[in-house]
Amino acid sequence: MTGVNPEAPTTATAPQELRARGVARILISETELQQEIRAIAAELDAEYGTDQPLMVGVLTGAVAFMADLMKAMTIPVQLDFMAISSYGAATKSSGVVRILKDLNEDIEGRRLIVVEDIVDSGLTLQYLLEMLKARNPADIRVVALLKKDKPDAIEVQADRVGFHIPDEFVIGYGLDYAGQYRNLPYVAVLDPSVYTNS
Ligand code: IMP
């Protein structure tokens, strides 16, 4: 058998440690994430039954959540993805939203589940929802894994939020900083030295 020996002692340079460099602290563990996702999946199963919803994932951050959520659901679902511009390498929302990749499916009359990684200022989601509503779906439910507790965030539809988190820049489980950290299996706070020293 090949691969990493889980019993082997880890060092700072072991590959499995490199992906976690810059992690200040783990905010939501893998176990907590999976438990909440199973709960959300059960709710969606009960809500949609045989209606076969279209799950719309917002790339790239929602990929981890979308994958685990759809596998935890037992009803038949379909998937589609959109890509919208986000922060680039910065840690604050620019308010500039741009479609990088549109849906493949015609959503008129469909029941949509919009799957978002995180609602921060709410600008991205607000823009996305306006655009989707204009295409006349039957209904839209928004499921966001994370929502930042932020007094100045705009009011936006988020029907089900997995975790409310403090207003800090987070990484992991799909979320990146400058394209890194997406494959951490947990949500963590990024050490500010990572972006203040660069
Ligand atoms: P909003 O438009 O400010 O709500 O930001 C939404 C998008 O910004 C999310 O879908 C993420 O891609 C990204 N984002 C917001 N906050 C964070 C964060 O703390 N870490 C990583 N990405 C974030």
Indicate the top mutation candidate among 58, 120, 148 to test ligand 1's pocket, ranked by most ligand atoms within 8 A of CB.
120
Angle ∠(72,41,58) on CA atoms, nearest 5: 90
Our count of domains for the chain comes to 1
Q: Can you tell me the distance from the alpha carbon of 139 to that of 53, in angstroms, rounded to the nearest whole number?
A: 10
Q: In a structure prediction context, what are the per-residue pLDDT tens digits for the chain, which is 198 residues long?
A: 445 455 544 445 566 677 788 899 999 999 999 999 999 999 999 999 999 999 999 999 999 999 999 999 999 999 999 998 755 545 555 556 778 999 999 999 999 999 999 999 998 899 899 999 999 999 999 999 999 999 888 899 999 999 999 999 999 999 999 999 999 999 999 998 888 765
Structural domain includes residue 16 = no
Q: CATH number of the domain at 157, please.
A: 3.40.50.2020
Show the domain range for 133: 21-196
Domain presence at residue 114: yes
Q: Are 104 and 82 in contact (CB under 8 A)?
A: no
Of all protein residues, the one whose alpha carbon is nearest to atom 22 of ligand 1 is 175
Q: Is 45 considered catalytic here? A: no
Whether residue 70 lies inside any domain: the answer is yes
Residue 5 lies in a domain: no
Ligand 1: centre distance to CA 81 (Å): 17
What pTM was computed for the model?
0.88
Nearest one of 46, 49, 55 to 80, comparing CA atoms? 55
Whether residue 51 lies inside any domain: the answer is yes
